[in-house]
A = this chain, B = another copy of it.
Amino acid sequence: MTEPAELGPRKAAILRAVVEEYVRSGEPVGSETIAEGSNLGVSSATIRNEMAALEELGYLSHPHTSAGRVPTDLGYRCYVDTLPQGLRLRDAQRRAISGFFAETMLDLEEVLRGTTQLLSRLTQYAGVAVPPRLTDETVVRVEVIDLGPTLLVLVVGQHGAVEKQAIDRPADLTGETLEGVGRRLDTLRGLTLPEAQARALRLAGETPGTEREVLIAVAEALGDMQAMPRGTHVLIGGVSNLASEAAHWRRETMRHMIEALERESEMLMLLQDVSGPQEDMSVTIGTEHPSTGEWDASVVAAPFRSGDQALGTIGVVGPTRMDYVSVMASVRAVAKRLSELATELGA
């Protein structure tokens, strides 16, 4: 909508300087600071004029008359969009990432849990990760296990995701029946979850008696697994970082934020809304998304893949006033390494 080009190079430079200074100091920045710190050869008065113009255009705002300027969400957006691509990580960060991925980890969920912590440590904000949805994978095994009072349906995805759901146990169930069911369910291997469900239903149609009953229940369970992303828990790490970093946030704001992080469905929607299908990385700033708008938060997210198949999303949630350069570099680097690992792990 607003091409940064039309700002002109000097306005752009000033906006950039304001954002960076504000992110650094946390305090509204005045024209003097910019005139001194930045090496445009102009005086503070000129900067003032430009800043007034930037405010007019909606990129900056004014807490009160005698204060400096603060970037608006639009200002951050422009800043982020015009960022040069060559993002460098600090050595310590690079080492932290390498160290993490040097550990041998075989279970993807475990890796993701660690990834949220890693991201949180790298950025000082909260790290999030959405594990692969079983829906997108093919099924490697469907198993029905007799627990006595109930039956347990176990579905294993190709990348090692395990989904379980209990179903009712028919009173007249025998071991043979269960074996029969097991044999039939073996044919689900290699299907996607919806396909598996359809096949299970079809199998049920061809089968009489108790076995049929169980198969129908299994099909229902397979349906539930798709419909409700129950197993798709969003992994979160480092909420405590937010509590300290965000020292200037209002208490209520923080409450809302932690609440939102707890609501898995909300985070899930946020991260899914946020990660455009083809994009490499997405940044959502404050009011650009209703959820984050409420609590002055931004989300930097990137997908990770196995080969060319998108598996899930990782990201960082922090205040709108965050160090986008560093965060984006971290998320990108971690996503890249994670994709490599996932590819190697679950080819």
Interface residues of A (CB under 8 A from B): 106-107, 110, 140-141, 143, 145-150, 152, 154, 156, 158-160, 162, 164-168, 230, 237-240, 243-244, 247, 251-252, 254-256, 258-259, 262, 344-347
Contact = CB atoms under 8 A, between A and B. Distances in A.
A86 to B, nearest CB: 34
30 contacts: A106-B165, A106-B168, A107-B166, A140-B145, A140-B146, A140-B147, A141-B143, A147-B158, A148-B158, A148-B346, A148-B347, A149-B344, A150-B160, A150-B345, A152-B156, A152-B162, A160-B164, A160-B166, A162-B162, A238-B262, A239-B262, A240-B255, A240-B258, A240-B262, A243-B251, A243-B255, A243-B258, A244-B251, A244-B255, A258-B258
A106 B344 contact: no
Contacts of A254: 243
Say how many copies of this protein the assembly contains: 2
Nearest to A147: B160
Contact of A239 (B237, B238, B258): B258
Nearest to A243: B255
B156 A154 contact: yes
B110 A149 contact: no
A10 to B, nearest CB: 40
A347 B149 CA distance: 7
User: Across chains A and B, which 5 residue pairs bring their CB atoms closest together, nearest first?
Assistant: A106-B166, A240-B259, A240-B258, A244-B255, A243-B255
A127 to B, nearest CB: 11
Given A106-B168, A145-B156, A162-B164, 20 more contacts: A106-B167, A107-B165, A110-B230, A143-B143, A147-B346, A149-B344, A150-B160, A152-B156, A154-B162, A160-B164, A162-B162, A238-B262, A239-B239, A240-B256, A243-B243, A243-B251, A243-B254, A243-B255, A244-B252, A247-B251
Contact of A154 (B148, B154, B165, B168): B154
A255 B140 CA distance: 42
